[in-house]
Amino acid sequence: MIKDFEYFAPKTLKEALKLLDKYQDECKVIAGGQSLLILMRQGLVAPEYLIDIKGISDLDYINDDGKGVRIGALTLHRTIEKSPIIQKHCMVLSEMERTLATLQTRNWGTIGGNLAHGDPAGDPAPVFIALDASLKLVSAGGERVVKAEEFFQDYLEVALEPDEILTEIQVPPPPPHTGTAHEKLMVMQGDHGIVGAAASITLKSGNGVCEDARIVLSNAASIPMRAKKAEKLLIGKAITDDLLAEAGEVASSEADPPADVHGTAEYRREMIKVFVRRVAQKAQERAKSS
């Protein structure tokens, strides 16, 4: 049963930040409630005050100002999936959203809520880290921008202070000859990934040698995890099938996957090999044709 709480529905960011500043650890921000309400029903989170930010329409936007794509934290998953700006500049985000949860959840859950929840099985985080995105965190006292990669600290723990709201995700334009891909292993369409992988590959102009690689895994550790040894293996080499298979092996050995009813740690390690090889291959092909 959910413990009683006092409910606020601010209409502006300023109003929300003022409430957050006042109640700090005693309060919780709620966006779509798709993840928070589950924790509240289980009694794992029991805030005295609930600050519902869903009505702050200023945080629902997607734009491209030539210096990259900016996504407001209250943008719905479904809006990102369907956005012509996203499809033009970061198609991989739209592809990822298509596999995230059900249509009903995508129509209510927000991108900011997904990231702030800090679930290592979440789909957007690996893609944003592969895209080298940054997150804007705002409090009544000011704002700061952190790399998506540094935002995730432990299982369901992120780098948000109690008085901060995540307001925006900033995706820089990719370097030339870059391709990005994401896939996850699901039993049924819309399930959380048993494991997932995103890769971004940048090729040197003309010769197909890998200039840069970012490989990020979901549900493979307590946070969305960069497979840095696998990345290092690819950088500076011409990508071949054997090298991709080796990168999968290395990424698998770097991971520390959980074991649960959906799969043992060993099974996840095997699947990481497959999914890293697959997304790196796809990212490379996209880089070639970009």
Using CB under 6 A, pick the residue from 81, 123, 132, 211 that binds ligand FAD: 123
**How far from chain centre, in Å, is Cα 88?**
19
Using CB under 6 A, pick the residue from 17, 19, 34, 182 that binds ligand FAD: 34
Is there binding between residue 30 and ligand FAD (CB under 6 A)?
yes
Is there binding between residue 33 and ligand FAD (CB under 6 A)?
yes
Candidates 23-31, 223-231, 241-249, 259-267: pick the segment binding ligand FAD (CB under 6 A): 23-31
Using CB under 6 A, pick the residue from 35, 178, 180, 200 that binds ligand FAD: 35
User: Could you say which residues in the range 222-241 bind ligand FAD, by CB under 6 A?
Assistant: none
Cβ closest to ligand FAD, residue 100 vs residue 171: 100
Helices (H), the chain: 13-23, 36-41, 77-82, 84-89, 91-98, 103-106, 111-117, 124-130, 148-151, 228-234, 241-254, 265-288
Candidates 82-90, 116-124, 203-211, 235-243: pick the segment binding ligand FAD (CB under 6 A): 116-124
Using CB under 6 A, pick the residue from 82, 89, 98, 192 that binds ligand FAD: 192
In the complex, the smallest distance separating the C-beta of residue 214 from ligand FAD, rounded to whole angstroms, is 19
The conformation of residue 76, written as its DSSP 8-state character, comes to B
Q: Tell which residue, 118, 123, 70, 133, has the closest CA to residue 96.
A: 123
In the complex, the smallest distance separating the C-beta of residue 173 from ligand FAD, rounded to whole angstroms, is 24
Instruction: Report residue 61 as tokens.
Output: 């936007």
Is there binding between residue 148 and ligand FAD (CB under 6 A)?
no
Residue indicated by tokens 């900016």? 70
Q: Tell which residue, 128, 70, 68, has the closest CA to residue 97.
A: 128
Q: Where are the beta strands (DSSP E) in 115-195?
A: 134-139, 142-147, 152-154, 157-158, 165-171, 178-184
Q: Are the beta carbons of 77 and 48 closer than 8 angstroms?
A: no
How many chain residues touch ligand FAD (CB under 6 A)? 28
In the complex, the smallest distance separating the C-beta of residue 245 from ligand FAD, rounded to whole angstroms, is 27
In the complex, the smallest distance separating the C-beta of residue 113 from ligand FAD, rounded to whole angstroms, is 2
Contact letters (x/-) for ligand FAD, 60-89, by CB under 6 A? -------------x---x------------
Q: Report the length, in residues, of the chain.
A: 290
Candidates 24-32, 86-94, 207-215, 274-282: pick the segment binding ligand FAD (CB under 6 A): 24-32
**Strand, helix or coil for residue 2:** coil
Residue 33, sorted as left (phi over 0), alpha (psi -120 to 50) or beta, turns out to be left
**Strand, helix or coil for residue 269:** helix
Is there binding between residue 114 and ligand FAD (CB under 6 A)?
yes
CA distances from residue 202 to 15, 22, 209 in whole angstroms, order as listed: 43, 46, 9
Is there binding between residue 160 and ligand FAD (CB under 6 A)?
yes
Strand-pairing partners, residue 215, are 199
Is there binding between residue 101 and ligand FAD (CB under 6 A)?
yes
In the complex, the smallest distance separating the C-beta of residue 21 from ligand FAD, rounded to whole angstroms, is 14
Residues of this chain that bind ligand FAD (CB under 6 A):
28-36, 73, 77, 100-101, 105, 109-110, 112-114, 116-117, 122-124, 160, 165-166, 192
